[in-house]
Structure 1
């Protein structure tokens, strides 16, 4: 039993309420004959609420059942824990919910079963450059100003969070249609269009916006946020707010899986090179072979180069892939020389990616491969596309001159499909122009294509360059190109790409 105490003590300790709320539980505890029980008990309003663990224990007293009631106050611990959780879920700079807090809010919405919500991710463009030029303090000041502006563009019921360094997340409550999210995105762009004043600088900020909608097919908050972030990537290309599209996400996941498999294939040497002959159109002799990467995955499924090469370029795997291709092509050509008892009479062409030229030390790699396999530079042709010149023309020019100093031959692939500056092209050490197959296929029935081919051949002659026509699928096309003055050609009219041994056998049969 609880010993009686003065009324002031009851009020001070809250025992008057305890007797009313806990008394019946004590009576039930004694009636049931239990020996021990424990439960939690909260008292007070939401501001000054206190939290107790109450333990009931049966004791013997003069042969009558009695109960010892113990109160353990956990209020301080719980308040500390709540404060820590609040701090962990809050961005210290802006005072907004952080990624964790935003996820908690979204989880609550998903658990409620209400699908009239959307998640919007606002990603700032070039913020890292602002941070680097003006310093982190100016960057922090800009983020706080951005948060205020974005908050002003939202409705009262919308919730703003800072989900990353230069990324904001918004939980939108939708009334009638999904078009509301588009309207909010327009307002955000509008308020960010006005410049920000930082110190003596006037900063213009742009952003990319991705939107994902909550629906019954998504059960995890992180999935919705990830969908919105994926839509941001599309927004960076389109320049408009983009909504998540499941098919695009599926394709992205497939590409990521392909990237993982390709990385493993490169590490485990699963790729091979096939070789397509390049023939002198006047004599029909093979003068070179173009090395083309081929990949059959672990399941025995051939992967198209048009599929895995773009993935390699986007992921950066084109760098190790390109290194391997250079070494493998030179090694194969050296092995053909040994089988022939000397120079087998052909060179080998290897494609260089724009990414490879920008990120890798191509000239030293080529020099090392030639030295290791004992071949002179003129036995190797290196092909690059017009697009490779666009990003960093001065750097590419230095790389090409370094390659030319090794004695290699430089060819421009797919000529006519890019955006070459002809004045700049004249200054580069390019030996060969390769006419794209799109101009060659069907040229006998298309006067415009014939005119384009004539123009390319005339340009090559003026620049003292040789020419190679790609995609020749009929002997008559090759004969016409030869009559027009084209030097060499390649295509199915001569041979498909072949494995190394088969290519060498074709060389022996054709040139002997």
Structure 2
């Protein structure tokens, strides 16, 4: 009776339990327990029956207290409790008290919040976090890792829809795309929206890797039908990257990154691409190079070398082309063909280009000082197309000239044809600003790009540089001679001078001079020289 009164006075659902030969039975329960509806109805489905073995083990043990969570009910109406088992002073070997703290409201709120955090509010699909969460669950089983693949779909030119039709039209398009993608998948596959215009698919491979290719084709087919938005009919193309699970990959984010890397390759090839370790290793190596290059620029570890440019008619040294060189802390020398593309992609070409302009101006001023006046040569500096797009080149050049007291006529700035193709009108403005400083403008690697001759006629270009690919082996190749003749005739008609790159023999130098080429550059005169060696060459020719 005393135990029953204790149970009745407890403010939380509680019950006194006893262990009989037939199992655990309820000896007393407070009204809160009964009001909660626990234990009413089929004895086999009651909460006590659900944890009967745990209760029996506790009563038989020496423990005074035990706590554990309980889920009671079905998927539609599930309740969550924190259960505490406590031993009674009366017949402790046969009885205990079960106290229940209802946590249903808190846990349901938590589950709802988590569900919202893992769901894309626009499409109702899992978001990046939810997608990664599901993938991690599968990767927890090593035996199943090779049975799955991740596809990443990136919509091409989606930003133009937002720009032209507005964000609401863009949202409508994303919702429609999500529906079509869902219709192209099987029931067991998981579709998610992992980014703005990026979708991810967790694919079950029932018949091997070929399943991924089949799904990719179905996706492209589903998106091939135009979308109707307002009064516009929009065609949506996509790039698809695939990453296959392996026994070695236990990180879902890593698998997603692999698929995203494959998407980048797909954008370049126009085909569905599967992740390849070698390509990823190269990209990782380039990323490491980017970090090292950034550090080298910040610490002043870069240097310029100088290759002479000579007048073909007289043999006189007229200029040096400055070329960036990089030797890392371990003494490894990197080719510009390796680090310049990395610098352009990462944006490091801007600080690198600024440094090159300043360094070239400082070197030229130093040579003048050592010569006791104008040393008699110009310095040429290469300007990248990316650098021209992202930096204010004219003020940078003007600042360098002013800092070292140089006249603009001492500088030649070399641009490639690709710089003109991106934005001809803007490039024209930049070139006119550079010409206003008195500098010489040269178009590098002429003939390898896509120059518009109409623009070429209007631009303030002083020199056309004939690419070495046309010069090397020219004497044995009629086609190359014809191309060089055509470039020389064009330059003469436009009032421009010419520089031939890649001259390695006297015979080639004489032939180009006879054809009317103005300047020559190549190993015949010298390889790129360190600053001190270039000055020594300059001094020896002067004497």
TM-score range, shorter chain: over 0.9
Q: Cα deviation per residue 1:205-237 (whole Å; 9 max; x = unaligned)?
A: 221111111121321111111111111111111
Choose which of 492, 499, 505 in structure 2 pairs with 1:461: 492
Q: How does 1:322-337 map to 2 (within 5 A)?
A: 322-337=353-368
How many residues align? The count is 512
Separation in 1, partners of 2:30, 2:432: 100
1:111 is aligned to 2:140? yes
**Could you list the runs of 5+ residues in structure 2 that have no partner in the other structure?**
1-15, 18-26
1:200 is aligned to 2:225? no
The 1:62–1:129 alpha-carbon spacing in structure 2 relative to 1, beyond 3 Å, is closer
Choose which of 365, 370, 376 in structure 1 pairs with 2:401: 370
Separation in 2, partners of 1:363, 1:214: 51
Alpha-carbon distance, 1:480 to partner: 2.0
1:102 aligned residue: 131
Q: Cα deviation per residue 1:336-383 (whole Å; 9 max; x = unaligned)?
A: 111111111000000111111122111111111111111111110011
1:12 is aligned to 2:41? no
Choose which of 344, 350, 355 in structure 1 pairs with 2:381: 350
Alpha-carbon distance, 1:44 to partner: 2.4
Separation in 1, partners of 2:80, 2:275: 45
Separation in 1, partners of 2:38, 2:405: 94
Separation in 2, partners of 1:489, 1:64: 105
1:340 is aligned to 2:371? yes
Alpha-carbon distance, 1:418 to partner: 1.3
Alpha-carbon distance, 1:483 to partner: 2.1
Separation in 1, partners of 2:91, 2:409: 112
SS of alignment partner, residue 205 of structure 1:
coil
Choose which of 293, 300, 304 in structure 1 pairs with 2:324: 293
SS of alignment partner, residue 41 of structure 1:
strand
Q: Please tell me the root mean square deviation across aligned C-alpha atoms, in Å.
A: 2.2
SS of alignment partner, residue 76 of structure 1:
helix
Of 55-64 and 165-174, deviating more is: 55-64
Alpha-carbon distance, 1:75 to partner: 2.3
Alpha-carbon distance, 1:496 to partner: 1.2
1:258 is aligned to 2:289? yes
Of 298-307 and 63-72, deviating more is: 63-72
Alpha-carbon distance, 1:308 to partner: 0.3
2:214 aligned residue: 183
Separation in 2, partners of 1:476, 1:275: 24
1:360 aligned residue: 391
Alpha-carbon distance, 1:428 to partner: 1.1
Alpha-carbon distance, 1:249 to partner: 0.8
Of 27-36 and 173-182, deviating more is: 27-36
SS of alignment partner, residue 387 of structure 1:
helix
1:144 is aligned to 2:169? no
Alpha-carbon distance, 1:290 to partner: 0.3
The 1:419–1:41 alpha-carbon spacing in structure 2 relative to 1, beyond 3 Å, is closer
Residue pair 1:285, 1:511 contacting (<8 A) in 2 also: no
1:90 is aligned to 2:119? yes
Q: How does 1:22-171 map to 2 (within 5 A)?
A: 22=51, 25-61=54-90, 66-112=95-141, 113-114=143-144, 115-171=146-202
The 1:21–1:423 alpha-carbon spacing in structure 2 relative to 1, beyond 3 Å, is closer
The 1:63–1:74 alpha-carbon spacing in structure 2 relative to 1, beyond 3 Å, is closer
Alpha-carbon distance, 1:454 to partner: 2.0
Alpha-carbon distance, 1:6 to partner: 10
Separation in 2, partners of 1:423, 1:10: 90
Alpha-carbon distance, 1:100 to partner: 1.1
Residue pair 1:274, 1:294 contacting (<8 A) in 2 also: yes
Separation in 1, partners of 2:93, 2:119: 55
1:392 is aligned to 2:423? yes
SS of alignment partner, residue 154 of structure 1:
coil
Residue pair 2:189, 2:204 contacting (<8 A) in 1 also: yes
SS of alignment partner, residue 38 of structure 1:
strand
Q: TM-score, normalised to structure 2's length?
A: 0.90
Q: TM-score, normalised to structure 1's length?
A: 0.95
Of 44-53 and 134-143, deviating more is: 44-53
Separation in 2, partners of 1:357, 1:342: 32
Alpha-carbon distance, 1:325 to partner: 0.8
**Could you list the runs of 5+ residues in structure 1 that have no partner in the other structure?**
none
2:450 aligned residue: 419
